[in-house]
Amino acid sequence: MKSLLRTLSVLMLSGVVFSCKSGEQAAAVAVEAEVIPQVRVQQVFEREVEQVETFTATVEAETKNKIAPSMPLRIKSILVEVGDNVKKGQILATLDATNLEQAKLKMKNDSIEFARIDKLFQVGGISKSNWDAMKMASSVSRSNYENLLENTVLRSPINGVVTERNYDAGDMYGGSPVYVVEQISPVKLKVNVSEKLFTQIKKGMDVDVKLDVYGEENFKGKVSLVYPTINPATRTFPVEITIANANQRVRPGMFARVTFSYGTAHHVVVPDKAVVKQSGSGDKYVYVYNNGTIEFKKVELGRRLGTEYELVGGVASGDNVVTEGHSRVVNGGKAELAK
């Protein structure tokens, strides 16, 4: 009996001890569950921000001429090389003149023959139809000569620089241009601009242009043409920019970044460390602290301003945004300010 009583006492005592330990663990869990995450915040305000947009483009020549004769002739001489600056009307190459000399002799002969026929016609010695036929032959031979005269000498139709030469002296012209001459003072850029700026971009507007080859150096350009329609597939519209390029430092083919400035707007500006990107998507959020509660607000970013971002919308002026402690808070959850 005594043994049984001792056993029961031990069991009761163990139950009491177990109960006490369980209670202590539950209390500890409860205390742990009541821990509120701490955050650091910064009050943000609206301010005036310059509105700019940057787009990429490739520099093009203002005018590009492919120079070639209108018929297959042998090239007699090549007078300029790639990279040479040429003037409007300057001779670039000459072609074989054999056909030209033959055409010149025929023109003279037909002219003499027509003068003889014309005298006979005046005194009634020849019919009107014969006179008309001879006049036509004389006109055709003159036109043929003038055409050969124009094509035996190749001239530049513009002031520009030679960017391509496809033949050597003695080659027979075979279809591709003998020369390509491009006008590079000025040059132009064609930019596909977002539809949202359609009412902001105007002809004559000044723009800033930076070229990768020249680093941060700024070149001044001007909007020379705004296309009147929008591409429904890309939601963009073409804009042409002209750069005077008097010193010819800007060359066709260079990669450029064109920046449009179209006034200012009052927007909230937040520290860059307050902006959080949602994992798995491109959405951006700012966490706003309000009287101990956290609210996630989706935002649209504008310009990056050094260590800050312009917000197009989502956060009000005067809000307190979380700058540290993002990972410890939940939307609608509690938080306290770090000391």
Residue 87: pLDDT above 90? yes
Please tell me whether the overall predicted TM-score, pTM, comes out greater than 0.75 for this model: no
Instruction: Tell me what the pLDDT averaged over the chain comes to.
Output: 86
Helix %, strand %, coil % of the chain (to 5): 30, 45, 30
**Domain span including residue 82:** 69-165
The domain tally of the chain equals: 3
For 236-259, what is the mean pLDDT? Answer: 94
In this prediction, residue 31 carries a pLDDT of 45
Residue 315 tokens read as 């956060």
CB 75 within 8 A of CB 167: yes
Helical residues (DSSP H) of 2-97, grouped into ranges = 2-33
Residue 15: pLDDT above 50? no
Residue 17 falls inside a structural domain: no
In this prediction, residue 133 carries a pLDDT of 85
Query: Of the candidates 150, 116, 154, 152, which has an alpha carbon nearest to the alpha carbon of residue 135?
Result: 116
For 36-48, what is the mean pLDDT? Answer: 93
CB 264 within 8 A of CB 51: yes
| pLDDT over 90 percentage in the chain | 56
Both 280 and 312 in one domain: the answer is yes
Q: How far apart are CA 286 and CA 311, in angstroms?
A: 10
pLDDT tens column, 92-147: 999 887 776 777 788 888 888 888 888 888 888 788 888 888 888 888 888 877 77
| pLDDT over 70 percentage in the chain | 90
Residue 5: pLDDT above 50? no
Both 135 and 78 in one domain: the answer is yes
Comparing 310 with 110, the larger pLDDT belongs to 310
Pairing of β 38-43 and β 336-337: parallel
For 267-287, what is the mean pLDDT? Answer: 90
In this prediction, residue 126 carries a pLDDT of 81
Residue 10: pLDDT above 50? no
Both 305 and 322 in one domain: the answer is yes
Last residue of a domain, one of 106, 132, 165: 165
DSSP class of residue 150? H
Residue 22 falls inside a structural domain: no
Last residue of a domain, one of 233, 264, 295: 264
For 169-193, what is the mean pLDDT? Answer: 93
Distances (CA, A) of 199 to 103, 195, 202, 227: 60, 9, 8, 12
In this prediction, residue 107 carries a pLDDT of 84
In this prediction, residue 25 carries a pLDDT of 54
